[in-house]
Structure 1
Amino acid sequence: MNNYEKMKAKHPMRRDIILIIVLVLLILVAIIFPRFKDMREPVQKTEIIYIAPEKKIPLIGGDPAPAPDIVGSLLQEMNERPIPPELIPDSIDFEMPVLDTFSLDSLYKYEPKGKGPPPPSKGIGIICGNPIYQTPPRPIGGKNAINNNIEYPDSAKQAEIEGQVILQCFIDDKGAVQEINIIKGMDFPGMNDAAINAVKKTKFKPAVQRDRNVGVWIMIPVTFKLNTR
């Protein structure tokens, strides 16, 4: 019998104790290591994303033009758009003026000589801004009332000046001449004043609208013609 067997026979209990200790250690290691693994804190992974800096590309031809102000242009267009006139309802009884066929040319016994200024329009019409009238103003005394008030300038008679002056006159509701404007005059001195004075001296029957006298503007031609007979 060798030495190992001798020792084995002498120390049977020591062998068993060592085996037990080894088994206990293995069991402890198996139990302890999983616990340490669970106690470790989880590590969060951080993902780093690289963003390249933005590069400004230069535009050809400079900065772009600003966008048009669409709202402002629409408002301006609406403000500049003309407001349509109000329509007269059909229920209103609107009377059109009745123009007399009376011609102012027939007031005067003289007529222009040769190629004089063009004659005024026939009849008495409505000047812009006039009230609508049914009966136009008429000179008191008939057709020759203004003719009789004409004072022919002596210098014009000597120079044998003839012609016509067209006046725009305001006849008030009492038949008086209040304002006179020269529409077409004569270049010879004194002729325009003579025409104005002749009309101012004439008394008129005022215009009538619905049985009421009204003031109106009318056109009056004053003709200058020499009586060579």
Structure 2
Amino acid sequence: MDRNQATRLGLVTGAHVLLIGALLHTVQTQPPLPPKEITVTLETPAPLPVVAPPEPKPPQPKPRPQPVIKREPVPKPLPKIPVARPDQVATEPPPKPVPETPPPQPEVKPAPAPAPAPAPVSQPRVDANATGNMKPPYPPVSRKLGEEGRVLLEVYIEANGSVGDIRIKQSSGFPRLDNSALETVRKWKFTPARQGGQPIAMWYVQPVTFSLSQS
């Protein structure tokens, strides 16, 4: 800090000290003001006049309920229906007759054309004397014992004439005769049945007779 600044600071400080001292002197030299007297007056309010409570009113008597009188409804007069005089009555014309419609006739359908008759069937044929168709041999034991009889065989003949199946339909009564006929006819060849010119397969009954007089 330089000298000029120190001098200024000293002057400012001294001025403040003198000002504060002057103020303190002034405050101490002035006499105190006398206190003001404050008078407070309390007023008592005048008492209110006493009002007597109202006397209660005597209870009024309740009215007695009046009896309810039911009144019967007065019937309303019926409205008068005007009666038409004979000359005012309208006469309706008689209904027109409805023409009778004839009942519908049932539709007649034409009869179906008859199915064509099947072509006739020619029965198979066999020739026991033909080549390869041997006559069933007479069993020697049956011939010795005098066994005779007739065997009916059911033969299924194929379209080519061969035997497809064979069975005994009616026995001769002697198993030896039945077996001889069965085994022999199984090897036969037949002329097959035909229908419409075409060979067909079918069952056929072939009889075989064993007779000592014809053997």
**TM-score normalised to the size of structure 1?**
0.42
Higher relative CO (Cα under 8 Å, sequence separation at least 6) belongs to 1
Larger Rg computed on CA atoms: 2
**TM-score normalised to the size of structure 2?**
0.45
Q: Which has the higher helix share?
A: 1
